[in-house]
Structure 1
Amino acid sequence: MKTTQVLLAGATGYLGRYIAHQLIESGYKPTLLVRNKQKAKFDTKQFKVVEAEVTQPDSLRGLFEQIDIVISTVGITRQKDGLTYLDVDYQANVNLIEEAKKHQVKKFIYVSVLNGDKLRKIKVCEAKEKLGDYLKSSGLDYCLVRPNGFFSDMGDFLKMAQGGKVYLFGDGKPKLNPIHGKDLAKVCVDAIQSSDKDLPVGGPDLLSQNEIASLALGAYSKPSKIIYFPDWTRKLTLWLLRTFTSSKFYGPAELFLTTMAMDMSAPCYGEEHLKDFFKETVSKQQKRATP
C-alpha cells in the first residue's frame, strides 16, 4: 500500500517544526522544503529534506513529483530582506500552488489567520486572504487552517507582567483562545484526511484579555495590576504607525493592535494550556538568570 507523501513548506518555522514531527508520529513520510539544509538541522534519517527558495518558482521544479499533499506555513512576521508580505505570504505560496497543480497534488493545506475576512485592511492579512482566494479558485482540494494566535504571540503580556503591570486598551473583555504549536500541528496533520475547507481553531482555554493579563502576572508571582487605556489611544497609535512608519515596521503591531479590540474566540482544541506555558517560560528565564 502506497504511503501518502506529504511535502511541508515552511518547515523551519515555529509551527513548521511541530508539524514535521507530528507527520512522523502520524505515520507519514514527509519531505521538508527548506532554504538551507545545514541551518535547518533536521535528522535526515527521519526526514527527506530538499532545498528551494519559495519566492523563486524555478527552484521548485521537480520537487513535487510523487507528492500527494502539500502543507504550507510559509509567511513572514516581519518584512525583511527587501521582501514584503505580498512577496512571501502571497506570491511564494502561489508558486507552491502552481507547482502542485502541475503534478496533480491531491490537496493543499495552508495556515492562514482567524477572522481574515475582517482583517483584509491589515497588510499581513491582506496577503493571506488574497492567497486564500487564489487557492479556492485553483481547482485543488484545499483546507485553510485559521488559528487565532500562538502561545508565543502572548509574549507581550509576559514582558509587561515582568515589570509588575499589564496595560490593556478598553475594558479587557474581548476573548481569545491562543493555541500551542504542538496542538495546532495536530490540527494541520488531521486536515489531510478531513473534508473541512475552512477550519477556525484555537486552544482549549477561552480567556478574556483580563484573564490572560492575570495569568501572566501570576507567572511572576506578582499581584494583579492591570492599567486600562481608553480605546481611542489604540486607534491613535495605529494611525501614527501607519502614517509615520513603513509597513516593514508597523506590520506586526498593526495586527496586534487591531485584534486587541476584537473577539478572537475560535473552536477549542488541544491539551496545552496557556497558564502552564507562561509558568514554563518564566521558569526558564529565571534559570538562565541564575549564575
Structure 2
Amino acid sequence: MKKVLVAGATGYLGKFLVKELAEKNYEVSAITRNPKKTEELKKLGASNVLVAEVTDKSALTGICDNIDVVITAVGKTKQKDNFKYMDVDYQANKDLLDEAKRAGVQKFIYVSGLGSEKFSHVKLYAAKLKFEKELKKSGINYAIAYPGGFFIDMLEMLDLAKKGNAYLYGDGYNSINPIHGADVAEEVVKMIDGDLKEKTFAGPEVFSQREVMELAYKVIGKPAPKFRTTPAWLVRGIFKTLKLFTPEKVYGNMEFVTTVATNDLVATPAGSRKLEDFFKENK
C-alpha cells in the first residue's frame, strides 16, 4: 500500500483528494495548520494528520519521511492573511519539494490551474508557473495537473441569481467547462501510477458565462433578467490601475477572478458530475 501525503488537505480540493485516496486504498497522511480539522480529515479517510504551517519551512522538516507520493494542492485563495502568492503558491510548495527530495519520495504531484502559462502576468498564475518550472528541473519524478475552474467558483453566480442580479465581467460569451472537485481528485489520483507528466482537463459540459447565469436562474426557478456587463477592456484597465496603489491582498483575487471571467478557459472534458446538479445541491 502506497503512502500518500496530501498538502492543502483542508482546502476545497484537498478534502476530495483525501477521500478519493482513502477509497482507492492508499494510506493517507494529511497536512493541516488547524488542529481542529483533525477529526474531519480522519472521517474523510486520513490515517495520519500532521499539524504544520506550510509557509514555515522549519515546520516541514521530516514531514515527508516514509512517504511514497506527495500531492500538493497548496495555494492562496481568499485567506485574509498577509502572505503573498509567491509566499504560498511558490515558496511553500518549493520548501515541501525540497523536503520530499531529501526524504526520497518516489513521486511529487502538483495541482496547478488551467492557464498558468497563458496568464503569467496575473500574480496568482505567475507564482504557480514559477513553481512548475522549479518542479520540472528538480530531478524528482513529477506530475502536474491543470484542472479548469471549479464548480464551487460558480456559486457566485448562484448567489447573484438569488439576489435577482445578473452581473457579468466582459460580455459573458467566453467559454468555460468547470469541474467538480471530486472529479478533479479522481483525475489527480490516477496520476500516481500513470505515466503522464502533465494533464490538462476540465468538466464534461462547456458553457458561456451567460449560460452559467441562466442555469443559476433556472435552478432557483426564476426568469433571468437582462444581463449587466462591463467591457473586458475596462475591467483590465481598472485592475492595472489598482495594482499601482493597492497591496496584492486587495487586488490579487479580483485580478484572478476577472481574468478567468473574461477569457476562454476550455480543456479536455473529464468527470461526470453536472453543474446543474451542483447548483441544486447548493441552492
What does 1:245-260 correspond to in 2, within 5 Å? 245-260=246-261
> 2:217 corresponds to which residue?
217
The letter for the 1-side match of 2:81 is D
Identify which of 16, 19, 22 aligns with 2:20.
22
Report which stretch shifted further, 217-226 or 146-155.
217-226
Report which stretch shifted further, 29-38 or 9-18.
29-38
> 1:199 corresponds to which residue?
199
The letter for the 2-side match of 1:43 is K
Length, aligned pairs only: 280
Query: Percent identity, aligned pairs only?
Result: 41
Aligned residues of 1:200 and 1:267 also touching (Cα < 8 A): yes
> 1:72 corresponds to which residue?
72
What does 1:202-281 correspond to in 2, within 5 Å? 202-225=202-225, 226-281=227-282
Q: Distance in 1 between matches of 2:46 and 2:14?
A: 15
TM-score, normalised by the number of residues in structure 2:
0.93
Q: Distance in 1 between matches of 2:79 and 2:244?
A: 17
Q: Distance in 2 between matches of 1:242 and 1:100?
A: 35
Q: Distance in 1 between matches of 2:190 and 2:103?
A: 23
Q: Distance in 1 between matches of 2:172 and 2:2?
A: 45
Q: Distance in 2 between matches of 1:244 and 1:251?
A: 12
Q: What root-mean-square deviation, in Å, do the aligned CA atoms of Structure 1 and Structure 2 show?
A: 1.7
What does 1:7-156 correspond to in 2, within 5 Å? 7-41=5-39, 42-43=41-42, 46-78=46-78, 80-156=80-156
Alpha-carbon displacement from aligned partner over 1:180-200 (angstroms, at most 9, x marks no partner): 111111111111011111211
After superposing on structure 2, the runs of 4+ consecutive aligned residues of structure 1 that deviate more than 6 Å are: none
Question: How much does 1:268 deviate?
Answer: 0.8
The letter for the 2-side match of 1:243 is L
Alpha-carbon displacement from aligned partner over 1:221-258 (angstroms, at most 9, x marks no partner): 12122233333332233234323422101111101111
Question: How much does 1:158 deviate?
Answer: 1.5
Where 1:95 maps in the other structure, the secondary structure is helix
Question: How much does 1:79 deviate?
Answer: 5.3
TM-score, normalised by the number of residues in structure 1:
0.91
Question: Which consecutive residues of structure 1, in runs of 5 or more, have no partner in the other structure?
Answer: 283-291
